[in-house]
A and B are shown apart, each in its own frame.
Chain A
Amino acid sequence: MAVDPSVVISIAAEFVGKPAFKQADTATQKLSKGVKSMAKTLGVAFSATAVLAYGKAAVKAAAEDEKAQKQLALALKNVGLGRDAASSEAYIQKLQSEFGIVDDKLRPAYQTLAVATRSSSEAQRLLNLALDISASTGKDLGSVTGALSKAFLGNNTALSKLGIGISKTDLKAKSFQEVTDELATTFAGSATAAANTFQGSMDKLGVASANVQEIIGKGIIDALKGLSEDTTVDNLAKGMEDFALFTADAIRGVGVLLEALKSIPAAVNLPGLKFAMQATGLGILSKIGAAERKKQEAAAARATNGLAHLAELESKYANITLKATKKITAEELKQLKAKQLKAAIDKANLALGKGENVFDMEKIQLAAAEKNAAEQLGKITSQAQLLQITNDLARLEVKKSILALEDAIKTNDVAAITRATAKLNADLGVLGALTGQKIKLTEIKDILATIVPKDLINLGNLDAAIARLLTIASFGSGGSMASHGNPILGDPNKSPTGIPGPTPVQFPSIFASGGRIDMGGNYNAFNPAMVGMTSAGSSGNAGTTVIVNAGTIATPDELVVLIKTAIQDLNRAGDSTTFAGAIA
């Protein structure tokens, strides 16, 4: 919750200074530091300790500078910009002197951008832009270059957080090039303007001081290396101390010399002083040192040129290697594509095989027929239906066995052919037995169990059906009325009490001969004209032949149906000769 400062009681408040005061203080401190460095560089503070301390710092600065140069060169080389190392270093030195920013800051910034962009020209363009933004906004150069490098790679978050007038919408809608062009327009000339201020001038002096320090440090290192031919740190430090003492003594000597020169009026002016200095041992040493420096610079230039040439050669070699690698990669890609194609074809074949199975009509029809037979099995009502369904299933099994044998023959697998043949023979045996109708009902159950899919058989229902069939079979094969328990009307050999006519034992023979019993219980002989039949011979026990005039030739089953229908109609409604229910 934001708190209105007017409703706050501040306790134990402390003045910490306003931002403007701080800036002024920082600027003053920097100025003081820069002047001190310059003073040290110019040799105003000539005490032995100061010289020694400065020498150490100079050596350290030179070493760090060299390390930073090497790091940048390595980073550039790693991203394929090795040939630009020398030009990049020159560019950094130019920026350093132009804008008063030390190379220790410029190198990491340039490295970040070069690694991100992998292009020297783009890195330099972005570094110029970063310098402008940094000078204008006060953000440190590292933050700005970091944000720009991230934005170059597609991450605009850091750039939007810099608060440099680019909205999130712009960042989303515009390309990186457009955004940077806009920023370049917005912040154009900021770095140059900043460099031309007093602070900028002091920064330039600071940079010059740092450079002087590095140059002197490099000179010390070279001189000591040359003197001692030993590169260990301890020896170097000892050498530095000796050198510092020697230098201090020499400078003291210069002081004495200057005092002496002051007594000579003509030598007070600087040219005279320079002439006098050149005439001393120090001047001679300076000449020797200058000659050595020039020699080393020439060697360094040669080395730089050589390195540049080497970098160029390396670049060419890298290009050739890259091309060869690409070629190899292309071959590998071709092989990989062929492998992928083969795998795809294999998969397709597999899928096609599955499709063939799916669309194998024979198998589909067999499966449908089996399913249908299994369903019918649950609906059977007679032994004939059971036998018929069993026959159908056995035929289907034979068909399956034939197909299996054909497949086995195609595969040339002897064992599979043998198995399929044995299976076919067994199925044919079952079918033959069923066709001959010599099989027992219990065996039918076993056959069904082998040929009907298990999941389609309701064994409970099957058992019940078989039991019922057995009952029916036993009922129709010679049982007598007496064997079914007590008769309804008492003694079957006697006529029911009070009813005249034949006894119940006589009824089957009467019905078999087509006779009828009237309401009074009297027996009437069969009259074919009454039921639409013509007597054409014997029938049943009487040895007569019954000819049914149905107007067409019927099958035995149709004939049975017709007779049943006629009897049922007669039973229900009666006719002109008998009453309803007379033959119940």
Chain B
Amino acid sequence: MPTEVKGALELRKAIKKFSPDLAVETRKELAALLAPIVKTARGFIPSEAPISGWGKSSSTALWTEKNRLWSTKAAKGGIGYKTSPSKPNNKGFRSLARISNASAAGSIYETAGRLFPNGREQAPMAKVVRQSQSNYGKMIRSGTKTQSKSNNPGAGNMFIEAIDQYGPIVDANNQVGAGRRSRKMKGRAIFRAWKEDGGKTNAAVIKAIENSKIKFYNAMGVK
């Protein structure tokens, strides 16, 4: 009975079901293609905290959340790849393979200044009027998430400038033609590595999937 495969995801499923050896082979082939990108991206992570206070866990530290404290090891370890299909995103797309920067500190380093290159504007002061609030009656900085709550109006800018010393934000989007470009392909580590790769890995991944399709068809006797 001839096997008909629709789409890359169905192909992956079919390969996994009917030819597990080929599935393992494909996964290894994809891993071999993505590993160099990951290695390069890890090389863009600074060996020390870009700002001295970032790595301190005292009360005067940059962030009180422990997972946000700078750790070179965690930031490098958070960069990785996966060769299994993802869940659909809110636009209805699923990826067959992906490179991610998963650690909190690494993500901050990757994306700081991507939306606001000069830092967010300072939020205005406002009086707390809700009695249930602990700081009822006091004046605090209150604004939206696009506004900075810091009393230092240049805090965001200083932070971004300090990080830029270690690596600039690179736009890895190679889309051409009309239309708005997404800022979500900009970054300092994985996106920079992806940009430097110049699309070779992307083409190789698609080629590898095509090859697996051909091998699978041959194995199933489909012409």
Contacts and interface: CB of A to CB of B under 8 A. Distances in A.
B51 interface: no
Contacts of B103: 1
Contacts of A358: none
Interface residues of A, number: 19
B96 A17 contact: no
Given A10-B86, A12-B205, A3 B100 contact: yes
A13 to B, nearest CB: 4
Interface stretch (B52-60, B139-147, B150-158, B186-194): B186-194
Contact of B97 (A1, A3, A12): A12
Contacts of A3: 100-102
A16 B97 contact: no
A12 B102 contact: no
A8 B98 contact: yes
A6 B111 CA distance: 9
B98 A16 contact: no
Interface in B89-111: 89, 91-103, 106-107, 110-111
A359 interface: no
Contacts of B101: 3, 7-8
B177 interface: no
A271 interface: no
A8 B102 CA distance: 8
A1 B205 CA distance: 25
A414 interface: no
A360 interface: no
A4 B187 CA distance: 13
A10 B98 contact: yes
B152 to A, nearest CB: 26
Contact of A9 (B94, B98, B102, B209): B98
Contacts of A17: 88, 92
Contact of A14 (B93, B99, B184, B187): B93
Contact of B190 (A1, A7, A15): A7
Contact of B99 (A9, A13, A15): A9
Contacts of A9: 98-100, 172, 185, 190-191, 194
B78 interface: yes
A37 to B, nearest CB: 26
Contacts of B78: 1
B9 interface: yes
Contacts, number: 79
Given A1-B78, A9-B191, A11-B202, A16 B88 contact: yes
A7 B187 contact: yes
A18 B88 CA distance: 8
Contacts of B221: none
A317 B101 CA distance: 73
A15 B187 contact: no
A577 to B, nearest CB: 106
B89 A5 contact: yes
B49 to A, nearest CB: 19
A24 to B, nearest CB: 13
Contacts of B89: 5
B145 to A, nearest CB: 14
Given A4-B107, A7-B110, A7-B190, A13 B172 contact: no
Interface in B150-170: none
Contacts of A4: 102, 107
Interface string A15-56: 111100100000000000000000000000000000000000
B94 A18 contact: no
Nearest to A6: B184
Nearest to B37: A9
B214 interface: no
The listed residue with most B CB atoms (<10 A of its CB), out of A5, A9, A21, is: A9
Interface in A59-90: none
Interface of A: 1-18, 21
14 contacts: A6-B111, A6-B184, A7-B100, A7-B110, A7-B187, A10-B93, A12-B205, A12-B206, A14-B95, A15-B93, A16-B9, A16-B88, A16-B92, A21-B92
Given A7-B190, A14-B94, A18-B91, 11 more contacts: A3-B101, A3-B102, A4-B107, A5-B89, A6-B184, A13-B93, A14-B9, A14-B93, A14-B96, A16-B92, A18-B88
